[in-house]
Structure formats: C-alpha cells, structure tokens
C-alpha cells in the first residue's frame, strides 16, 4: 500500500492538555475494535467450529502483533487478510468439525454481527451533543465499522469512518494519526483519541493528540506507556468529564 501522499510530519506536536487539564477538543477520534465493538461473541464462533473458545483472545492479539510487525518494517496489509491468514495458521492441526477454509470463513463472518458495548449509543449521543466532531480510525476496515454503527443506529453521528488501510501504516505509527488529522483538517492539539488499548493511547499521545483511555476492565494502565490525559469507564462518563 502506497503512502506517498502522506505528509510524514504532523502539522504540530503541541499537546492538547494544559496545566488545568485537556481543552475541549474539536475532534474526537475513536478506535473501533474493542473500544466501541464488543468482541466477546467471537469466542462463540471459535467454539462453533470446534476450536477452544479462548483461542479468540490470543488470535486477535496475534493479528495486532503481526500488523505492528509489518508497520515496523515499513510494510502494511489489510486487517482482514492478516486475520484470515492467522486463523489458517492457528487452526492448523486443531480437530475442527468442518474444513479449515469453512472454519476460517465462519469465524471471519463473526465480525459482521458484533454489537457495540452497552454504553456506546447513549455515550455517542452525549458526546455529539457537546458539538464535537466524531470520526473513527480503525486498524480494521471501514465497512466493518459502517455495518456495526448501522446495526446500533448511531452511524449518523460520525462524520467519517477512517481506516489505516488508506494510510498505509497501522496505529500506533504516527503516520496513521497524521492521516486522520489531514483528512479532517485538524491539528493534533485540537484532537483527542478515545481508545481502550493503552498502546493506541500511547501512540496518539506521542503524535501530539490528547487522549482518553477507556478502561473497560478496571485494570491498571501500563506504566511504560505515556499516561492518558483522561481516564474513563464509559463514553457517558467521558462526556461528563468534557462538559
């Protein structure tokens, strides 16, 4: 994937936080997978084909790892291709109840029926009511996000659905965030990333954006990553913090 059209430098490295805390951002950039989508049903799709349900967690982590690995050597590929190829390797030798390709297709099809987390519809509405522009930036495809939001009845709140497939670099590479900012015409200090993944939070912070870490598990934030500007347990709570 070519990324020659991208400006390799961010327009600014000023941070959106002040001594009194983050300014109200003009733009909220949302991660999609696990941040907005509830991926827990994917375990059932593994079980449906005869694989252990817990494979879902390690498989998704492996997809991210391999996407990051390609980015680290200045290469890229689509989430769907990496995910399917990873399934072929991970399910090889597992006693499945159907052929390997049929199993891969069944699991991949699981993305088409995922729900959003329970807090998402009300939280997105509350954030939109603040007058902030809402977009997404996913390591996955825009079509998956489109269908996810259509099912949840919240697609109209989002100005656009962006994907790193068009940036040629996966998050947390700085070029991925630069792509989103350039598409939206916003400088880093006027944008805030909302993500459940600390690695995404850290990447956006290093790229000059403000960050809100959505802590869905109640666990600690890794000390080796740049701390988020805001910590929140739900999108409605985030809206309350930004009022």
Give residue 91's pLDDT. 98
> Is the pTM for the entire model greater than 0.75?
yes
Between residues 20 and 159, which one has the greater pLDDT?
A: 159
Q: Are 191 and 210 in contact (CB under 8 A)?
A: yes
Q: Which residues, in sequence order, are CB contacts of 23 under 8 Å at separation 6+?
A: 16, 17, 189, 210
Query: Tokens 């962006």 identify what position?
Result: 162
Give residue 4's pLDDT. 39
Give residue 124's pLDDT. 98
**Nearest in space to 36 (alpha carbons), one of 132, 158, 180:** 158
- Please state the separation of Cα 179 from the chain's center in Å: 15
How far is Cα 71 from Cα 35, in angstroms, rounded to an integer?
21
**Nearest in space to 187 (alpha carbons), one of 11, 7, 5, 9:** 11
Average pLDDT, the chain: 93
Q: Are 228 and 221 in contact (CB under 8 A)?
A: yes
How far is Cα 85 from Cα 227, in angstroms, rounded to an integer?
34
Q: What six digits make up the tokens of 66?
A: 């391999």
For 15-29, 60-74, 197-211, which range has the lowest pLDDT when averaged over its residues?
A: 15-29
* DSSP E strand boundaries for 90-205: 133-138, 160-163, 191-195
Given pLDDT bands bounded at 50, 70 and 90, which one contains residue 9?
very low
The Cβ of residue 44 has, within 10 Å, a number of other Cβ atoms equal to: 12
- State the Cα torsion 10-14-20-25 to the nearest 10°: -30
Task: Give the pLDDT mean for 31-47.
Answer: 98
How far is Cα 206 from Cα 199, in angstroms, rounded to an integer?
11
Q: What is the pLDDT of residues 93-139, one digit of tens each?
A: 999 999 999 999 999 999 999 999 999 999 999 999 999 999 999 99
Q: What is the pLDDT of residues 186-222, one digit of tens each?
A: 999 999 999 999 999 999 999 999 999 999 999 999 9
Q: What six digits make up the tokens of 55?
A: 């494979």
Task: Give the pLDDT mean for 58-72.
Answer: 98
């Amino acid at each position: 994937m070519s990324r020659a059209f991208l400006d390799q430098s961010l327009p600014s490295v000023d941070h959106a936080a002040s001594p009194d805390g983050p300014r109200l951002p003009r733009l909220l950039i949302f991660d999609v997978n696990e941040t907005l989508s509830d991926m827990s049903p994917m375990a059932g799709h593994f079980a449906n084909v005869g694989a252990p349900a817990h494979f879902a967690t390690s498989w998704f982590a492996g997809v991210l790892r391999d996407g990051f690995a390609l980015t680290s050597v200045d290469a890229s590929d689509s989430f769907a291709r990496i995910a399917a190829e990873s399934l072929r390797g991970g399910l090889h030798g597992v006693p499945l109840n159907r052929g390997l390709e049929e199993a891969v297709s069944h699991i991949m099809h699981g993305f088409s029926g995922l729900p959003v987390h329970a807090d998402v519809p009300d939280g997105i509405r509350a954030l939109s009511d603040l007058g902030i522009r809402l977009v997404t930036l996913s390591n996955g495809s825009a079509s998956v996000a489109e269908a996810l939001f259509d099912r949840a009845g919240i697609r109209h709140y989002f100005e656009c659905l962006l994907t790193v497939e068009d940036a040629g670099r996966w998050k947390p590479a700085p070029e991925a965030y630069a792509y989103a900012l350039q598409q939206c015409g916003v400088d880093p200090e006027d944008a805030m990333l909302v993500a459940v993944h600390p690695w995404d939070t850290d990447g956006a912070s290093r790229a000059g954006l403000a960050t809100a870490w959505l802590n869905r598990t109640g666990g600690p934030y890794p000390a080796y990553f740049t701390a988020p500007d805001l910590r929140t347990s739900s999108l409605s709570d985030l809206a309350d913090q930004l009022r």
